[in-house]
Each structure stands twice: as structure tokens, then as C-alpha cells.
Amino acid sequence: MRRPLCLIGLAFVMVLLLGIHLFPHDPPDYGALDGETVAAVGRVEWKERRISGSEEVLVVTLEQAVILKPDQVSVLKQFLEDSDKAFSNAIAADSVKKTEKFIEENRESLQWEDAAGIEGILCHMEDEKPPAMGSYLLVEGKFRPFSHARNPGEFDAADYYRIMGQQGRLMRVSCLAGSGEVSVFRESLYRIREYLSLLLDACYPEREASVMRAMLLGEKGMLDEEMESLYQQNGIIHILAISGLHLSILGMGFYKLLARLRAPKVVDIILSVALMYCYGIMTGMGVSIVRALVMFGLNLGASLAGRTYDLLTAMMTAALLILVQQPLYLTHSGFLFSFGAVCGIGLLPSVSVHASVTGSHFLMGSRFCKALFTGGWVSLCTFPVYLCFYYEFPTYSVLLNLVVIPCMGVLLLSGVAVMAVAAVFLPLGPFAALPGIWILAFYEKLCGLCGRLPGRRLVTGRPENWQVIAFLVLFVMAVVLSGRMKRWQFFGALVAAVFLLTVRLPQGFEITVLDIGQGDCIYLADGQGGHYLIDGGSSDQKEVETYQLVPFLKYRGVKRLDAVFVSHSDTDHISGIQGLLEDCGETGIEIGRVLMPDLDEESRDENYVDLVALAKSRGVPVGVLHEGERLGNEKLMLTCLHPVESYVNSDANAGSMVLHLTYENFSALFTGDLEGEGETLVTDFLSGAADAEKGGKQSGFSAGPVTFLKVAHHGSKNSTSETFLTAANPRIAVISAGRNNSYGHPHKETLERLKNHGCRIYQTSLGGAVTVRVRGEQVRVESYIQ
């Protein structure tokens, strides 16, 4: 049997995947602790500088963490102080062991009941001296649990950090007490990294220094946001991760250097692996570093034992070591990207050998053609990962990586040389940094060029699980049967696999009310390729277009919004739309037009005027809607019920645009923040239309009961009156409001009125995004959080 470990590993992975999907483990909810000032104790596992907002902060990772009961803080503080005094620095390890034993034996009496299950915490230190690695730390700060995604496509911070072993963070942390230093080895590596970081800062300009620190020292927390975004959008963000490329260049370089110095092979291998292990510890020992380190060690071990090194077997060994410790890495994008790329490299020789045997000559041609095929092949292996996590693929990344990756060796060695030169004679450092600065400028120019080319992003949406399985089946079949296939058959199988992964079947009519905190954002799909947005803003969530809106649209495969309706110009309804317009062209989401409520010139506030000006500056047409105007197609029709033409506002909310939607037998009413005079006018309109229908008159508007109501003004008691509900007569009511908002939305009075009218009530603050799908006579409503 060839590669038995690979087959065993594949079986193990399949069992893990099955278990993860069939028996999902939901972590405890730590919402009860959100915002509470708590004390915690734990061992210092890692520390690094990060940018938080506009400030640089020290972030310390505590493992074996315990959130303490308030009455136990003084007990543990006294214990730490007494323990630290009882031992000298020479035997500080004994102090730490004593502390660790005390905490484990008394965990139940020390731990806050609501914090059971917390194992790791990120501490944002406030003007504190960095604690020693491996020491125990007693700290106090405001607890913030990592939040789960509340919308389709949104990044799930809780799941991501759970894999990392962390369940929350403490903000503005102060240190109450600490034990002595225990890990001299790791603390020394941290200080070396800090010293090297200072050398890079002194030799490179600020932006380039942040890139070199991330690339050489793993300091991503200080990375320039603009550069990170540029690399991410163009599919070369991987060059910033410490990975096999670094270890192959640095590790193999050191190995060959010792070989030239005629060091004994055993000594050479031990020193090379030890150096790379130290480098891995210094840079954070991420999943790609662990993989590269294991494979590097197996490669050198194979040469020492006189055995053949098999890349796929080495890769599977590394994967099993990681997954045995944390199976959830199978849902981690970094793990899948790292191992997917290496798997592609490992499978390429098999395809090449099969092709040469059959005469298919897949890899025949010029060196450029071979490089292009290799780059495309590796991208194909990671293609499902791109679509499952980012819902798009940077089209020109294959060509871009053909230029970027060959330069990486020079760039890395240049960075190492800069640190070595600067350590000896600092004034020479900036001159040694010039090649690296030129290469980074070249990268930036290339990314800028690709950003101006048409079709730079392939937005496909998140593929279904069956599509991923179909892709993998066809891909594996193409590899296994490549020895029996002709060229057109081989490439035909790959094209078919890509087609199955990217094709999107018609999804039908859909309304999704997104959870963006205290605000409104409603997405409409007409089932015929049309996509619309009604409002998009929040008063308590920052950059909703970046973290909620754009990820959702790409998750749905939306490349263009045919129209964006703005009910009114309050910030909690337009902040995300402003962000979409400002980033127009960068996000990959086009906007067909913006439609505003038809208000008198004097009633248009500053936000209204600024939004119109912003849209026009981005080349997006702007129109206004007033009562009676319609747009739609043969199945879907949107009718504006309010405001009347050139409406004079009594207040901003009263002038909210109200849209009535009909789709076959389904109807919906979108009310913005409608209240006061505006709600009275809409109520009269609905009642008048109903009376006209009873009298046999044709008003051009169907005034039957409304299936779906987006409740006005986040459920305020000043909206959605009894008379309005009687006129609209909704079956389903959705309230969009922030969790624990300061306004108390939705108000009890509104909820009572809705219940009394027999409405099924859904709240984004309770269940996340609310999606309504209509299939024939069936209306299905589901909350994102079940």
C-alpha cells in the first residue's frame, strides 16, 4: 500500500468532519459577564503589540485562566504576594508551580460561576510593564466575550478564538499582582524579537517596517491596514504569514551553511531544527509554522536515515499532530489554506508522472507555461477555501504570485541582512534596506495595476456543501485517473469541478433583515437576478459595511445592488450605505442607483445632502420617490406610500419613506422610522385604499392584509399604533434593534400591541438576522441564531 499514513489520516479527517457536523459543540454563552469589571488570574502564554483603534497597546494572552469571584480576589492577591516573597528569583519556578497547584486545587471556590469553561483570555494592558513569559498574573479589567456571527457571511470571532483557546478579552487591564519569571527561554526569545523589531523600525519607512515585521517576526497586530487590505484583495496576503517558505529559506540556508563548514551531519540537523524551533517560538508558533517545522524536521531526518522524503506523508503527519490536539482546526481557514497549498504541491508530481507516461504532456511547454500551470494548480487546490470563507476569488492572483513568490527569497534574505547589519552598525541599516523597499514598492505597484483591471474579483457566494463535495470528487478523480486521461479529458474534469463549485442555482424571492445593532438594514432578492437594499446603518456598530453588510452580500453572491432605498437620513439608517459608496470599487459591490424620500429642500438635513453628494461623486445616479411611484417587474412590485411629493417634514422620522411590496400572494411593508404625522398619513392611505376596494373602485393598489411588517423605529412605543396595525393587519412582524440598547427598544407597549393583533414577532436582538423566503404559497421565516 502506497502512503498508508495518508490513507489513515484521510479516514481520520473524514471521521472528524462527520463528528463536527453531526455533533456540533456550542460553547457556553458569556453574555452575562459582558461589560462587567472582573479580576482574572492565568499564566502568560504570549504577548505582542497591537493597534487598537488608533492606539498601540500591549496584548497579553493568559492561559489556564480563571475569572475570580469578587470575594476571592484579595485571597489570591495575598497568596501571590506571599508566594513571591518566599522564593528567590533563582527558584522562581517553584513559586509558579505552587501557584498553579493552589489554583487547580481551589478552582471551584475561586471561579465565578458564570465563567465556567473559560480557559484563555486576551488582556489589553494599560500602561503596564510587559509581564514575564510563563509567569502567573492577577489582573483586573472590563470583560468582553468574543461574539458569534449574527448574520450569514459574518466572521465568527467566538469560533475562531475558541480554536485558539481563548473565550474573551479584558479591556483597560491593570495588574494587581504577579509571580516571578519562570520561562527564561521564551522570555529571552521575546526580548530578541522586540530588539529585532526596533532594528526594522529604524531601517525601513513606517509602512514597509510594519510589513517586514509581519513577514519576518510574525507581528501582524501592527501591520499597516492599507497594505494588509491591498495584499488581501489581490490574493498575496499569504506572503505575510510565517510558513514553509520562511523555514525552507532560513532553515535550509543555515543547514547548507553548516554543511559547507563541514559540521557533522547529525550536529547540522540538530542545530538547524533547533534554530527553526526557536524561530517558531519567537514568532508565535502558528499552525503554518507547526506544519512547516514538522515537515522540515522529517525532511532532514529522512536524509540522515537514508530514506526517501515523501511530502504528502510528512504533510499528513503534521496535520494529524495538530488535529489530535484541536480537531476544530478543520474549520480554520489558515489551516485549510496552508495544508491545501502543500497538498497541491505534493500532488503535482503524480500528475506530471502520469502525464509523461501516457504522453498527455500536461506540463510540456515553456518554463513560463509550466510555472503558470503550477501556480494555477496550487490555486485550484485552495479555491474551495477561498469561496467558503471569503465568497470570492482574486482573479489575477495566479499571475501575480508568479512574480511575487520568486522575489520572496530575496526579500526575506534582505530583511535578515538588514537586521544583522543594523545590529553591528545601525547607520548602515537603511542602506541595506533599499532592496527590500524597492521590492515592496514593486509589489504595491503590481497590486495597484491589478486593482484597475476589469474582473479582478470573482464573487460567487458561499458554495453549498454538496458543491464542495462534488468539486473534491471530480478533482480527486482527475488526479487518480490522470494516467489514463488525455489532455482535454483532464482539463475538462477540472473545468467541470470549478463549474460545479461556482454555479449558483436560482434562490427565489428573499427578504433578510440583518442584525447590525441599533439600526436598520434590509436585503431583497426578487428571484430573477435583482438585488435591493433598504437602509443600511447603525448607531452602535462601527463599519457595518465592512463587518456585516459586504460579507453578507458576497455570501449571497451579490455583485451589484440594482437600487438602494434610503428611508430617511438618520445615521442608524445610512452609515453603512455611506461606507459602501466611499469604498465603491474597492468592495467589489456596485450600486445601480440610490433612491431618497422626496422631501422639500428645506426639509433635507445635512446627512441627506451629504449622502446625495457622495453618491453623485462616485458616479451613482440619485433619484427621489414619493407617494404612488412604483418600480419592479412582472412578479415583484415596490410601491412608495409615503412621503407625498416635496413633503415638508414635521420631524425626520415623520418623513420616512414607506415601501409596500407585493410578490405573487405575498406582501410586505417597510416603514423606516415612521411615526407621528407620517404614520397617520400612511394609515389613512391604507384605510382609504381598503374602503375603495370594498366599494368596487380600482385604486391601482392592493390594500389587503400585509404578510410581513418591518416594525417602525426599532419597536418604539411612539410608532406602530393600534389604528396603524388595524389598517395594515400584518401576520409577521420583524423588529430591528440593538441588544441592550440605551433606548429600551423594543418597548413593551409595542410588543403588546403586536401580540394583541396576532403577529408572529421576530427580533434581530434575540435571533440575529431574520430571513423570509417565499416558495409558492409557502412562507418560511427563520432566524440566523436558532
Q: What is the DSSP string of 240-253?
A: GS--HHHHHHHHHH
Does residue 699 carry a pLDDT above 60? no
The predicted structure's pLDDT at residue 193:
94
pLDDT tens for residues 602-620? 899 999 999 999 999 999 9
Q: What CA–CA distance (Å, rounded) separates 273 from 252? A: 10
Does residue 697 carry a pLDDT above 70? no
The helix/strand/coil state of 106 is coil
Q: Are 203 and 433 in contact (CB under 8 A)?
A: yes
174: left (phi over 0), alpha (psi -120 to 50) or beta: beta
Does residue 142 carry a pLDDT above 90? yes
Q: Phi, psi at residue 334, to the nearest 5°?
A: -60, -45
- Select the more confidently predicted residue: 492 or 356: 492
Does residue 116 carry a pLDDT above 50? yes
The predicted structure's pLDDT at residue 211:
92
Q: Is pTM, for the whole model, over 0.85?
A: yes
pLDDT tens for residues 253-300? 888 888 888 888 898 889 999 999 999 999 988 888 899 899 989 988
Q: Phi, psi at residue 366, to the nearest 5°?
A: -70, 170
Could you tell me the pLDDT band of residue 701, with boundaries at 50, 70 and 90?
low
- Select the more confidently predicted residue: 752 or 690: 752
Does residue 87 carry a pLDDT above 60? no
pLDDT, average across residues 199-210:
94
Q: Are 273 and 300 in contact (CB under 8 A)?
A: yes
The predicted structure's pLDDT at residue 1:
46
Q: What CA–CA distance (Å, rounded) separates 460 from 394? A: 11
Does residue 5 carry a pLDDT above 50? yes
Does residue 187 carry a pLDDT above 70? yes
The predicted structure's pLDDT at residue 350:
67
SS (H, E, C) 735-764: ECCCCCCCCCCCCHHHHHHHHHCCCEEEEH
Does residue 354 carry a pLDDT above 70? no
Does residue 95 carry a pLDDT above 80? no
**CA distances (Å), 117 to each of 66, 121, 161, 165, 560, in order?**
9, 12, 14, 11, 43
- Select the more confidently predicted residue: 27 or 642: 642
Does residue 357 carry a pLDDT above 90? no
Highest averaged pLDDT of the listed ranges 109-113, 156-160, 241-245:
156-160
**Environment class of 633 (CB within 10 Å of its CB; exposed 0-12, middle 13-18, buried 19+):** exposed
Break the chain down into helix, strand, coil percent, rounded to 5: 50, 20, 30
- Select the more confidently predicted residue: 478 or 483: 478
Q: Are 138 and 176 in contact (CB under 8 A)?
A: yes
The predicted structure's pLDDT at residue 700:
52
pLDDT tens for residues 540-560? 898 999 999 999 999 999 999
Residues 6+ apart with CB under 8 A from 255: 268, 269, 272, 300
The closest alpha carbon to 84, from 178, 20, 200, belongs to: 178
The predicted structure's pLDDT at residue 306:
83
pLDDT, average across residues 376-383:
89
At 504, list the grid cell: 449558483
CA angle 556, 559, 565 (to 5 degrees): 85
The predicted structure's pLDDT at residue 98:
76
Q: What CA–CA distance (Å, rounded) separates 640 from 659? A: 5
**What average pLDDT does the chain have?**
87
Check residue 58 and report its DSSP letter.
E
The predicted structure's pLDDT at residue 83:
67
Q: What CA–CA distance (Å, rounded) separates 557 from 699? A: 38
At 390, list the grid cell: 471569503
Q: What CA–CA distance (Å, rounded) separates 485 from 533? A: 48
Q: Phi, psi at residue 510, to the nearest 5°?
A: -150, 140
Q: How many CB atoms lie within 10 A of CB 73?
A: 19
